[in-house]
Amino acid sequence: MTKIFLVAHQTRSEIRGLIAEIVAWSKAGRHEVWMASQDANALGWSDLASDRAAAEADLVLSLGGDGTVLRAVHELDGAAVPVLGVNVGTLGYLTEVEPAQCLATLDRWISGKEGKDFEIDSRMMVRATLTPANGGSQTTWRALNEVVLEKQQSGHTIWLDVDINGFEFAQYSADGVIVASPTGSTAYSMSARGPVVSPRHRA
């Protein structure tokens, strides 16, 4: 039995039918499927609602666009569970499977072998910790694309003391700082007429 956690765009009506196909497929194969209560209730699938963590799944299935994939990654909170993106959105850079291919892809993932029938593409993530100058408590975030720290008031800059992996990188006054992973760097790099960084590169 394979355990699958669904993360779905809540306002795309076509996703309801796709979920119905996935549920029928899971029952036929005796697989387990569940969703977070917020997604399940919004899409009319309250019987799939569960408080179980995404990290308990063997696979996280994202139904939507790139934003839904990012939400799926946040649901995992750093757990090493594969995410399969099904493109039911307007942006599909991170979603490689079309809805018509969804069930066949799931079958291939369950019965196939990695490297022959499918590949799992590891992606570098960013972890950022903010330490306020006034001695307040630290806040830490994980992100697949980028972490952005920016000023709150217009007309002023903020002083930044940036460390990378515990080593001092730079101190400067600016509007903010953007730290992007290879996955999240593409648009920033292209806007500066720079090269596209391979998602497999650790930079």
Q: How confident is the model at residue 202, as a pLDDT?
A: 81
Task: Note the pLDDT of residue 163.
Answer: 87
Kindly report the average pLDDT of the chain as a whole number: 91
Going by pLDDT thresholds of 50, 70 and 90, the confidence category of residue 45 is very high
CA atoms within 13 A on the CB side of 195: 5
For residue 111, give the amino acid letter.
S
For residues 37-64, average pLDDT: 96
186-to-44, 57, 122, 192, 197 alpha-carbon distances in Å: 36, 30, 17, 10, 7
Q: Nearest to residue 143, comparing CAs of 197, 180, 187, 95? A: 180
pLDDT of residue 10: 93
Is residue 33 predicted with pLDDT exceeding 80?
A: yes
Length of the chain: 203
pLDDT digits (tens, 9 = 90+) for 83-138: 999 999 777 778 889 999 999 999 999 998 888 888 888 888 988 888 887 888 99
Per the model's pLDDT, the better-predicted residue between 72 and 77 turns out to be 72
Active-site option among 39, 47, 58, 66 = 66
Alpha carbons 143 and 71: distance in angstroms, whole number: 10
- pLDDT number for residue 69: 94
Q: What's the mean pLDDT in 37-63?
A: 96
Say what percent of the chain tops pLDDT 70.
100
Q: What is the pLDDT of residues 1-32, one digit of tens each?
A: 899 999 999 998 899 999 999 999 999 999 99
Q: Give the span between the Cα atoms of 129 and 112, in whole angstroms.
A: 39
Q: What is the pLDDT of residue 172?
A: 92
Identify the pLDDT of residue 108: 94
Domains and CATH numbers, the chain: 3-111 (3.40.50.10330), 126-191 (2.60.200.30)
Active site residue 66: yes
DSSP 8-state code for residue 86: E
**Which among 90, 95, 88, 65 is positioned nearest to 15, based on CA atoms?**
88
Q: Which stretches of 35-191 are DSSP H helices?
A: 37-42, 66-76, 102-111, 186-191
